[in-house]
Amino acid sequence: DTGVSQNPRHKITKRGQNVTFRCDPISEHNRLYWYRQTLGQGPEFLTYFQNEAQLEKSRLLSDRFSAERPKGSFSTLEIQRTEQGDSAMYLCASSAGTESNQPQHFGDGTRLSIL
Amino acid sequence: SQKIEQNSEALNIQEGKTATLTCNYTNYSPAYLQWYRQDPGRGPVFLLLIRENEKEKRKERLKVTFDTTLKQSLFHITASQPADSATYLCASHNAGNNRKLIWGLGTSLAVNP
């Protein structure tokens, strides 16, 4: 299967700990997105990469959140000093080309639970 | 502010009937709308894209319409099956920022056998 892969699928941690999630996009896709989704809500944009460049970061994202895509392939999302409100599903998506209307291909997410 | 709104009430229909889901947009004119399906615990899956100059798009049992006068897109599933039960999300680009999508909350569809 050459779809978007996210690891881990589930993460349970205590408040105050740091967590890191990984996303492996579809290999030929140059665009990569991170979203956060809570129950009953649509995906909420967090950040966007075109190749290795992080072109946008949501103002909703605090300084505790950071994302990288060092070689323009896989990406990591780190949350430092986790808080209860960080509990959510974190989704990664990738898309091809330069047009913004290209369909996004999602992974199955990492579900984060903060104790 | 720009918004995409979907009917938050769950839709329950009988197998074999046509399901119709609504997506309304306000305070902007998107050049396209995308529809995705999401199953519990899974990421969204792209279904269809319709552009503003297209009145209708079809794919197998799926049909999407785009009415720029009503500022609305309708998503139809004909001959619905229990396997069509899922949450359906509508999304489009942000008018001031083509890089990201804005999403509706999704409508939950349950098809009863």
Q: Is B93 part of the contact surface with chain A (CB cutoff 8 Å)?
A: yes
- Picking from A11, A32, A16, the residue whose alpha carbon sits closest to that of residue A74 is A32
What are A59-91's pLDDT values in tens digits?
877 889 999 999 889 999 999 999 999 999 999
> Is the pLDDT assigned to residue B33 strictly greater than 70?
yes
At A97 the pLDDT is: 78
Contact residues on chain B for A105, CB-CB shorter than 8 A:
46
The CA distance from A100 to the nearest CA of chain B, in Å, is: 6
Cα B23–Cα B26–Cα B32 angle in degrees, nearest 5: 60
Query: Are residues A32 and A25 in contact, defined by beta-carbon separation less than 8 angstroms?
Result: yes
What tens digit of pLDDT does each residue of A4-31 get?
A: 999 999 999 999 999 999 999 999 899 9
Average predicted confidence (pLDDT) for chain B: 92
Q: Quick check: B28 pLDDT over 90?
A: no
Task: Quote the CA–CA distance of B27 and A11 in Å, as a whole number.
Answer: 38
pLDDT tens, position by position, B91-110: 998 766 667 788 999 999 99
